[in-house]
Chains A and B, each alone.
Chain A
Amino acid sequence: MIKFSKPLKALVAIAAIAVGLGQFSPALAASKTVVTIWSFGNVIRPELVTEYEAAHPDISIVVKKSELDPHHNSLITAMLAKNTPDIAAIEVSYSGYFRSYPKYFTDLRTLGASDMQSDYLDWRWDQGVADNGAVIGIPTDVGGAAIAYRTDLFKAAGLPTDPTSVSALWPTWDKYIAVGEKYKAKTKKSFLDSSGTVYAAILNQGTQKYYDRSGNLIYSSNAQVKTAFNGTSKALASGIGSNISQFTSDWNVGMNKGTFATIIAPAWMMDYIKQQAPATKGKWNIASLPGGGGNIGGSQLSIPASAKHPQEAMDFMKWYLSPAMQLRVFKTYGLFPSTKTLYDDPAVKNYTDPFFSNAPVGAIYTKGALALKPIFEGRKERQIDNIFGQALSRIALKKQTAAAAWQQALSEIKNTVG
């Protein structure tokens, strides 16, 4: 071992401290404005961020990506501590919660949001408008839903493979389940990845979920909730699902191995499939959702009140969420635009995706998005979703009957939400 003399030791220590301080020296940091973004899933694309930084040499963007629920939970804590990012992504199921607290957000009307409004779908825009009228979020994508299916597996089971005939197989959810039972009887394999996903798809085909527009809880009286719950229990009882939870490692493996033949696919799901199962390229196709259009998910970008660089953040959002950018994002990743001005654009309407056997994904998702009825998102939407989700899992695992699970869910919701 090298032995340092005492003065040399002191020198090394001083040098180390100097290097440490240098990291924080303002002279180095001041040259760029750092815009921080907190996000989840694929809302923020690193490639596009790099592109923006290249075009704006004075801006540096730092993105922190988390899981959906932890992301929103830590955002609440950060708002409380006034230690927020400059831009925060908010998923629609949490939008109702944040709409009650406009004072924690920058009113984007002060940064020119009103000029952007006419580009976007009205009901998507409204999900970012707070109770007091302040605009707290600009919509990113629309999760218009469809069914992604494996043409190779359909062929093997003697089912049609082209989207039009496949869509014609299931005008309703009952028919969809019937096709699934036929598939399962023939192949002994699962038809759907997770029967639980039927719930959100049916629920979102209504116009309201757990809250009415004045914010009153209607989860126990709204017929749509019961329809979704019963439809899902029926799907569970039929055994067409593999009961693999989405976004788990088993799910990723199953997608590659063809464990299931269909996935309920909001537009953003196409990108997950491409990422997780690149080897299945060309084996997928897209058909329409049973029971008409539906929306699952979608997000908005917000600027918290304690953001350090609201103007720079808004500049980025205006660029990132502009119709031109949304068109690019759609073509590259499949996220469906929230800007209605694009729906007539041939670039969207006629878009086909080679990964999905050149399915007319543009036409399918446009049709779905236009058929959508605006749906209202209430305050504790996400928590109630989770409780119903647990109830459906208990049915799936045969721990409870559908009726008992429904009763337990209602009492749990009463406990947590009121």
Chain B
Amino acid sequence: MSNTTLRSPNPWRASSKPQARKLGQLKKHESRWAFLFISPFFLMFLVFGLAPVLFSTYIAFFSWDPLGDTKFIGIDNFTYLVNDSRFWQATGNTFSIWAFSTFPQMILALFLASVLRNPKLRAPIFWRTLLLIPNITSVLAVAIVFGQLFGRDFGMINVVLGFMGFQHIDFVSNPLAGHIAIATMITWRWVGYNALIFLAAMIAIPNELYESAELDGASRWQQFRYVTLPGLRNTITFVIIVGTIGGLQVFAEPLTLSGNFNGGDSRQFSTLTLFLFEQMFVEQKYGYAAAIGIAITFIVLIISLINFLLTRRIASEGSK
């Protein structure tokens, strides 16, 4: 790549007409246009992103009955939150479902990606498209279909279990079985998407590495362990971060499985977002719900920080 290409503000014209200006330097009238062009995003963000965030921070300090009165109560919502066992249970449920969905999903996605990477595979585009189909299916439809599969008395899984002589599992009242059921829905939906991301990263690994590994007598597994995996390190971190953000927002699956906003008889499906929704729209405590929202933000921040530190360590290890 030539130097002029890098400098030019217009890469398409760069080769034919080199320009002296440096990248990022715009004439005054051009900068005005630039602001105009980027304004739609920022206007939308202001109205639908920032304004709600500020407003919910505001109402978190109130006892806010939507149709009735509002009263300033200081940090009472937050002290109540910290002492609310339902909140801690929701946090626990969320992470339990996250763990059950993320780790098996990683392994499965890596496996699928390695299968798809095989150059001898016929009709690769077809298989790749097939992997994405669960992802474009409506969450609610997925949850309803899986709800039928997991039914206690006549659900398909239990019918099969019963046929094989096992006892029926009550996926709705048994917390652990329920979490696994929800994690299965999430895995089914996201595994193909993640496999494609892994596949993209795998294709970027130079073939020479595999060839030389093969020359050195590395087995298939050793190639995967010592060539593929290190090459995917950053991708894995990315997929885990995205999965964590998604995992903290799990909502439709537990709602459909328990059929209730309170998350079942012992609140075993009450995830953080479900708890927020319940407090807001079922119990009509807008102030408290806003406080929960802020708590979720802090949880996301903490996890992001951990992720950031981890990634930095991995990155510095990689450059050694």
The segment out of A23-31, A166-174, A242-250 that lies at the interface is: A242-250
Q: Do the beta carbons of B262 and A399 come within 8 Å of each other?
A: no
Q: Once the chains bind, are B261 and A250 in contact (CB under 8 Å)?
A: no
A73: chain B residues at CB < 8 Å are 281-282
| Min CB gap A312→B, angstroms | 25
The proximity string for B residues 276-297 relative to A, scoring 1 for CB distances below 8 Å and 0 otherwise, is 0000011110000000000000
Given known contacts A249-B154, A253-B154, A393 and B281 CB-to-CB distance under 8 angstroms:
no
Bound Cα distance A377, B281 (Å): 20
The reply to whether B173 and A393 form a contact with Cβ atoms under 8 Å apart is yes
- Say whether chain A's binding surface is mostly helix, strand, loop, or mixed: helix
Contact (Cβ within 8 A) A77 B281: yes
Q: Which 6 A-B pairs have the closest CB atoms?
A: A393-B265, A73-B281, A101-B67, A253-B154, A397-B173, A390-B265
In the assembled complex, the Cα of A253 lies from the Cα of B155 at a distance in Å of: 10
* Nearest chain B residue, comparing its CB with the CB of A103: B67
Query: B268 → chain A, closest Cβ, in Å?
Result: 10
A69 to B258, CA, bound (A): 14
- Which B163-209 residues sit within 8 Å CB-CB of chain A? 170, 173
- For A329, the chain B residues whose CB sits under 8 A away are none
Known contacts A101-B68, A104-B67, A249-B147; is-contact A69 B152 (Cβ 8 Å): no
Number of interchain pairs (Cβ within 8 Å): 62
B230 within 8 A of A: no
Q: Are A250 and B262 in contact (CB under 8 A)?
A: no
**Contact between chains at A254 and B67 (CB < 8 Å):** no
The answer to whether A100 has its CB under 8 Å from any CB of chain B is: yes
Residues of A in contact (CB 8 Å), total 29
A386: CB under 8 A from chain B?
A: yes
B123: min CB distance to chain A, Å: 23
Please judge, given known A-B contacts A250-B151, A393-B173, A399-B266, whether A76 and B66 are in contact too, CB under 8 Å.
yes
Decide: A386 and B284 in contact? CB cutoff 8 A: no
User: Chain B: residues with CB nearer than 8 A to chain A?
Assistant: 66-68, 84, 147-148, 151-155, 170, 173, 259-262, 264-267, 281-284
B residues within 8 A CB of A74? 281
- From B148, B153, B283, A416 is in contact (CB under 8 Å) with B283
A172 to chain B, nearest CB (A): 28
A383 within 8 A of B: yes
Q: Is A394 an interface residue (CB 8 A)?
A: yes
Task: Give Cα A415 to B260, complex, Å.
Answer: 19
A410 within 8 A of B: no
Q: Is A127 an interface residue (CB 8 A)?
A: no
Closest to B267 in A: A390
Known: A69-B282, A77-B281, A383-B282. A399 touches B67 (CB 8 A): no
A11 to B281, CA, bound (A): 48
- Which residues of B have CB within 8 Å of A111? none
For the complex, what is the distance from the CA of A254 to the CA of B152, rounded to whole Å? 12
Q: Tell me, yes or no, whether A259 is within 8 Å of chain B by CB.
A: yes
Assess the B148–A249 pair: CB atoms within 8 A.
yes
Say yes or no: A383-B283 contact (C-beta < 8 A), given A77-B66, A250-B152.
yes
In the complex, are the beta carbons of B284 and A76 less than 8 A apart? Answer: yes
